[in-house]
């Protein structure tokens, strides 16, 4: 299996040049003391080291061995424990955590780059800390001071992990019907009872404690999503001084046998009168949990980019080395039995599709990170508000489009290997299996699409989309870029389809659901066109500095606009066919 | 894991009604004595029984256990041996084999229906006999009378199996550079030495003997594909009376650990001076092997349909039962906590996409089978020739389009299950893993696309395409169908793109490779439009006979034309972008 090398040059290109993060950080007081270009580069380089040399080497062996469940305990694969202990010493779990409780306070624009490396190196390993970071965010935003000061420092340190307990056997997408109960106790805590499934890292042997964030219903709570509360339930009870006490009534009933991310434990977690504490207000748990879920959605989206990058690196290297058949335009390596397959047009098509989508996604992740930073750190209320609107609009898009593209890319990366792509030892098939979950968990991509079109576009009357469109149009008109025209045309297509859908939704209850996934993809291709136009503008301006690098960016942009962006044509046509073709069959006719 | 139930009604609809196979059989003397509608139905029903109750139940357990290699021997998973012994008693391996040597002489139109069931029930199990059938075809077409009478009867019986030994570690797509050697011996046989990889069923414990068809080079043979010969090399040497003798110098060096089809052994087969016999003429082995490869290509294509059908059946059943959230247009099951997810538009989109593509593929497989039967059994030379031209044109299309659609469908079928789709015990993820190989082996789908566009369209100046177009246009004009207009429009798009590519190919050596995969998909959607127009025409004419069934067909046709056929728009635009965007980067810039 090939090594993973973090694409530092590309990550810096996006962070420093395309989005000029250092200039942004310098103008935001909360960040100006914390981070600058040099600090960011040092962090990226350290991240490249830890992911490439410590974590990536455990990816294949972790897949072969898998997480094991023995008598209620989970054993992570060989090497995970030691690697995790080394990893947390770098403070990575608290990278963008609140400094008041031991976090490093780094901007999200930087954190997304780190997350990409972590998922690329080893998606299963990444999940053990990704959930902790998200749980911390929800605790920091909604919990009492007492809970925050007790739980956040060891969680940022990585000594304790977090988990997210939402799903029950009968309730996945539809959390309104969960059955887990919380009974108030005399001491102000709650007794939690119920069974949760699909709990990533719900039990493991890496940390001293696991802090479960659990959705449950209080006695007499309203039915449906408005009767759900959020509780903090530690695996091991914690004393007032932060010391570990008795085991809480929390147990792992079993783990799942899955298609991929086999080294990540996916647990049934049983709460049998476990002691827990309310986070935030009663019956407002879903909103509080969404702080974590939105974080995880972007994070899981980035899993799509990370796996795709890993697959791309391996496929490009293989295509340069594997000799097979001759170039259509004449021998390229006449002294060898055949030419390297990278000469063949269809191999290039697959590699360029991967490259264009992965780099477009990387830029878009940084862009969403920028909006998250603005919404959190800007001193200007209007700027914060605008950024928040973009974050709300673009988070479901990022989660689903990164991961749908991630599967496509990993399938391409497997195909480049021919028969070897199907063999486990070569590693490409694992990436297909590992990335596949990212389209399913954290809200299926169908649910993300409903959120994007239904809640973020239609319910808001298209306001957030208009804001995004104004920004894109502003860019296209202000900068000299060979793709300004194509970008505006694509944007107009998105706007026209959106306007048509806003109209349809007034009279057709199924209009949103019928169009949502194609709409998300249409939006995604337009968003990436914006990213590629921005990257091309920078590459043209800087071309003289490093011809090979920037010419490569321009050639990839050219490929994107010529060969991938036209997919919007079909998406529009499918959407405009409306919902009627979906309702021609009765349930029993399927 | 849900049961597999062969879609007998749909198979009969295609065979009897859409293509009126019994009428064709009645007019072909070689078939009129062999098969009629009642015989065909009896065979289909028996096939449904054997696949549904004998073979399908071994699919999940076979995946868990996998084929095992111990000291040179392969052990198939528990139950395979007994099931195989029962299975071959039905004569299925020789279903369309030559009656002169013990085959049943059944038409391919019928055999494709059986193959679909077999792959749907258990793709790994199916492969153990699929290779035998293909090997028999090559032996029957090219081998000497002595070889035929010795080897075909036990192979048709299924007592002996066949294998196809092409690939070497350094030579997959590029067979011209193989290194396996064949030295002529005094007795007229050859001594074969070399190592082959990725040999499906190259070793197993199901049959007494395995007949390897091996590509090798004779001393002094020309370099490249014109210096390859085909040899028959039995695992166990066979006496003049057909009795088994000593082991030949053929051994299994190891088996691969794969993403899927784990119960199928994928072997390294070493020939160490093994005794073999020439099939056909020296140095013309590749052409002879293509008899088998073309058979296997259609067969492997049908694996795509079979896996997709299995995934669809499970997904449709799950969507009818799983309760989650409410229908957008109001509660459908007010007495339950939530509605069945089949009410949701996006779930319907996924199911209908699977249904439309799988049924389109099923019809197209029958259509290609019809052409194979005409090319083999017609008494009219012109009709045979026309059918042969269509078979040559449509075989690569069927292989690649069935399997690309097959992966899409299995991914959809997994997605319908949400988180459960990722868990092994539910079975949907296995179908994704199992179907994925079908895009890779038997010539990758990229190679099929080059064959279709380069050899079958461009090299022939578009003649075969014109023949196909004439037939489609004839149908569209002759029959009253609501989709005649859409069909002709789609056909014209294919013709226009083909014409443009014929021109491009004159001056651009990369024109074919740059367009080939998108071209194959464009062709595929047009071909399925032809199938759906034919199915819709029949359904309209017969609607009064069985409203629910035929209205279902019409609704699926409506979905296909409204929501899937528009994909041709983007495919055309991508193709017309030409090859230049693929060659903007040097190999080291990837």
pLDDT value at residue A296: 86
Residue B258: which pLDDT band, with cuts at 50, 70 and 90? very high
d(CA B529, CA A8): 47
Would you tell me how many other CB atoms lie within 10 Å of the CB of residue B366? Answer: 23
Residue B64: which pLDDT band, with cuts at 50, 70 and 90? very high
Judged by a CB distance cut-off of 8 A, whether residue B551 touches chain A is yes
Residue B292: which pLDDT band, with cuts at 50, 70 and 90? confident
pLDDT tens-digit readout, B392-412: 999 999 999 999 999 999 999
Which has the higher per-residue pLDDT, A197 or B295? A197
How much is the average pLDDT of A319-333? 96
pLDDT at position A433 over 80: yes
User: Is the CB of B582 less than 8 angstroms away from the CB of A349?
Assistant: yes
For the residues of B116-147, what is the DSSP string, one character each? HHHHHH-HHHHHHHHHHHHHHHHHHHHS-HHH
In a domain, A573, yes or no: yes
In a domain, A233, yes or no: no
How much is the average pLDDT of A300-321? 98
Going by their DSSP bridges, the two strands A209-216 and A160-165 should be labelled as parallel
Residue A434: which pLDDT band, with cuts at 50, 70 and 90? very high
A115, A296, A442, A572: the active-site residue: A442
pLDDT at position B208 over 60: yes
Residue B3: which pLDDT band, with cuts at 50, 70 and 90? confident
d(CA A365, CA B51): 48
Contacts 24+ apart (CB under 8 A), A182-188: A182/A216, A182/A217, A182/A218, A182/A229, A182/A231, A182/A276, A182/A278, A183/A219, A184/A218, A184/A219, A185/A275, A188/A277
Residue B573: which pLDDT band, with cuts at 50, 70 and 90? very high
Which has the higher per-residue pLDDT, B293 or A480? B293
Q: CA B578, B581, B584 angle in degrees (round to 5)?
A: 140
Judged by a CB distance cut-off of 8 A, whether residue B414 touches chain A is yes
d(CA A258, CA A260): 5
The percentage of residues in chain A with a pLDDT greater than 90, rounded to a whole number, is 96
Query: Is residue A165 within a helix (H) or strand (E), and if so which, with residue range?
Result: strand A160-165
For the residues of B283-312, what is the DSSP string, one character each? TBHHHHHHHHHHHHHHHHHHHHHHHHHHHH
What is the ipTM, given to two decimal places? 0.97
pLDDT at position A328 over 80: yes
pLDDT value at residue A478: 82
Picking from B256, B513, B554, the nearest residue to A344 by CB comes out as B513
- The alpha carbon of B70 is separated from its chain's Cα centroid by a whole number of angstroms, namely 31
Residue A161: which pLDDT band, with cuts at 50, 70 and 90? very high
Picking from B257, B328, B588, the nearest residue to A424 by CB comes out as B257
Give the closest-approach CA distance of A269 to chain B in angstroms. Answer: 16
How much is the average pLDDT of A194-199? 98
Give the closest-approach CA distance of B427 to chain A in angstroms. Answer: 10
Q: Which residues contact A191 (CB under 8 A, 6 or more apart)?
A: A182, A183, A185, A273, A274, A275, A276
- The alpha carbon of A373 is separated from its chain's Cα centroid by a whole number of angstroms, namely 16
pLDDT at position A293 over 90: no
Residue B521: which pLDDT band, with cuts at 50, 70 and 90? very high
pLDDT tens-digit readout, B503-516: 999 999 999 999 99
Residue of A179, A255, A353, A513 best to disrupt the B interface, most CBs of B under 10 A: A513
In a domain, B527, yes or no: yes
In a domain, B418, yes or no: no
How much is the average pLDDT of B381-401? 97
What residues are paired with B68 via a beta bridge?
A: B75
Query: Is residue B414 within a helix (H) or strand (E), and if so which, with residue range?
Result: helix B381-416
pLDDT value at residue A444: 97
Judged by a CB distance cut-off of 8 A, whether residue B446 touches chain A is yes
In a domain, B52, yes or no: no
Residue A290: which pLDDT band, with cuts at 50, 70 and 90? confident
The token pair that represents B232 in the structure block: 């028959």
Interface of A with B in 480-539 (CB under 8 A): 509-510, 512-514, 516-517
- Which residues in chain A are contacts of B509 at CB distance < 8 A? 328-330
Q: B33 an active-site residue?
A: no
Average pLDDT, chain A: 96
Number of A to B CB contacts under 8 A, please give it: 283
pLDDT tens-digit readout, B98-149: 999 999 999 999 999 999 999 999 999 999 999 999 999 999 999 999 999 9
Residue B476 belongs to what domain range?
444-579
pLDDT value at residue A2: 60
Picking from B167, B177, B440, the nearest residue to A337 by CB comes out as B177
pLDDT value at residue B296: 86
The token pair that represents B111 in the structure block: 């055999």
Contact criterion met (CB below 8 Å) for B525 and B567: yes
pLDDT tens-digit readout, A26-41: 999 999 999 999 999 9
Picking from B337, B346, B445, the nearest residue to A177 by CB comes out as B337
How much is the average pLDDT of A278-289? 94
pLDDT at position A292 over 90: no
Residue A323: which pLDDT band, with cuts at 50, 70 and 90? very high
Question: Looking up tokens 């060096």, which residue turns up?
Answer: B253
pLDDT value at residue B2: 60
In a domain, A271, yes or no: no
CATH assignment at residue A464: 1.20.120
In a domain, A476, yes or no: yes
How much is the average pLDDT of A344-359? 98
In a domain, A188, yes or no: no
Judged by a CB distance cut-off of 8 A, whether residue B589 touches chain A is yes
Query: Up-side HSE of residue B351: CA atoms within 13 Å toward CB?
Result: 29
How much is the average pLDDT of B492-503? 98
pLDDT tens-digit readout, A240-266: 899 999 999 999 999 999 999 999 999
The token pair that represents A5 in the structure block: 């090398």
The token pair that represents A35 in the structure block: 């981070």
- Which residues in chain A are contacts of B407 at CB distance < 8 A? 411
The token pair that represents A571 in the structure block: 């998406």
pLDDT value at residue A479: 63
pLDDT at position B479 over 70: no
The token pair that represents A386 in the structure block: 């605008």
pLDDT tens-digit readout, B11-22: 999 999 999 999
Judged by a CB distance cut-off of 8 A, whether residue A85 touches chain B is no
Give the closest-approach CA distance of B477 to chain A in angstroms. Answer: 25
Total number of domains constituting chain B: 1
What residues are paired with A566 via a beta bridge?
A: none
User: Is the CB of A346 less than 8 angstroms away from the CB of B316?
Assistant: no
The token pair that represents B153 in the structure block: 């009867």
Give the closest-approach CA distance of B319 to chain A in angstroms. Answer: 9
Picking from A256, A323, A328, the nearest residue to B509 by CB comes out as A328
Contact criterion met (CB below 8 Å) for A540 and A532: no
How much is the average pLDDT of B141-169? 97
List the alpha helices (DSSP H) in A276-380. 285-321, 345-377
């Amino acid at each position: 299996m090939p090594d993973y090398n973090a694409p530092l040059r590309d990550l810096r290109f996006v962070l420093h040049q395309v989005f000029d993060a250092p200039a942004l950080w310098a103008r935001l007081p909360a960040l100006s003391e914390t981070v600058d270009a040099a600090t960011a580069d040092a962090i990226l380089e350290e991240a490249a080291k830890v992911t490439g040399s410590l974590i990536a080497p455990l990816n294949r062996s972790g897949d072969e061995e898998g997480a094991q469940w023995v008598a209620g305990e989970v054993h992570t694969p060989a090497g995970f424990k030691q690697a995790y202990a080394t990893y947390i010493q770098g403070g990575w779990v608290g990278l963008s955590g609140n400094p008041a409780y031991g976090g490093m306070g780094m901007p999200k624009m930087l954190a997304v780059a780190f997350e990409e490396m972590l998922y690329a190196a080893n998606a299963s390993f990444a999940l053990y800390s990704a959930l902790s970071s998200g749980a911390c965010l929800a605790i920091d935003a909604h919990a009492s001071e007492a809970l925050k000061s007790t739980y956040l420092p060891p969680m940022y340190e990585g000594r304790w992990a977090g988990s997210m307990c939402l799903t029950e056997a009968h309730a996945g997408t539809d959390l309104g019907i969960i059955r887990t109960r919380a009974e108030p106790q005399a001491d102000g805590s709650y007794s939690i009872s119920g069974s949760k499934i699909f709990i990533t890292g719900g039990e493991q042997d890496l940390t001293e404690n696991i802090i479960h964030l659990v959705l449950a219903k209080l006695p007499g709570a309203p039915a449906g999503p408005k009767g759900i509360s959020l509780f903090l339930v530690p695996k091991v009870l914690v004393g007032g001084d932060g010391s570990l006490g008795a085991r809480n009534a929390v147990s792992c009933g079993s783990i799942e046998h899955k298609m991929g991310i086999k080294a990540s434990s996916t647990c049934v977690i049983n709460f049998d009168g476990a002691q827990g504490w309310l986070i935030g207000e009663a019956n407002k748990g879903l909103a509080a949990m969404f702080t974590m879920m939105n974080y995880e959605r972007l994070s899981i989206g980035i899993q799509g980019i990370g796996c795709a990058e890993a697959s791309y690196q391996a496929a490009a290297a293989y295509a340069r080395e594997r000799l097979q058949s001759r170039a259509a335009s004449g021998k390229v390596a006449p002294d060898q039995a055949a030419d390297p397959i990278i000469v063949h047009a269809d191999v290039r098509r697959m590699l360029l599709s991967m490259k264009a989508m992965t780099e477009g996604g990387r830029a878009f992740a940084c862009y969403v990170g920028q909006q998250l930073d603005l919404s959190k750190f800007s001193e200007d209320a209007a700027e914060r508000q605008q950024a928040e609107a973009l974050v709300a609009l673009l988070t479901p898009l990022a989660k689903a489009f990164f991961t749908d593209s991630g599967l496509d890319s990993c399938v391409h990366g497997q195909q480049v290997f021919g028969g070897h792509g199907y063999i486990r030892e070569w590693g490409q098939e694992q990436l297909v299996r590992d990335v596949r979950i990212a389209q399913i968990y954290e809200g299926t991509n169908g649910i993300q699409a409903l959120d994007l079109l239904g809640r973020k576009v239609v319910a808001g009357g298209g306001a957030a989309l208009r804001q995004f469109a104004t920004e894109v149009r502003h860019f296209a008109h202000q900068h000299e870029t060979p793709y300004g025209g194509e970008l505006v045309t694509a944007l107009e297509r998105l706007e026209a389809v959106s306007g048509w859908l806003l109209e349809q939704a007034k009279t057709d209850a199924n209009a949103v659901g019928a169009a949502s996934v194609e709409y998300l993809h249409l939006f995604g291709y337009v968003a990436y066109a914006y990213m590629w136009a921005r990257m091309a503008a920078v590459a043209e301006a800087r071309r003289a500095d490093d011809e090979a690098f920037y010419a490569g960016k321009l050639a990839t942009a050219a490929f994107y606009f010529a060969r991938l962006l036209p997919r919007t044509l079909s998406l529009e046509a499918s959407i405009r066919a409306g919902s009627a073709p979906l309702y021609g069959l009765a349930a029993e006719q399927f």
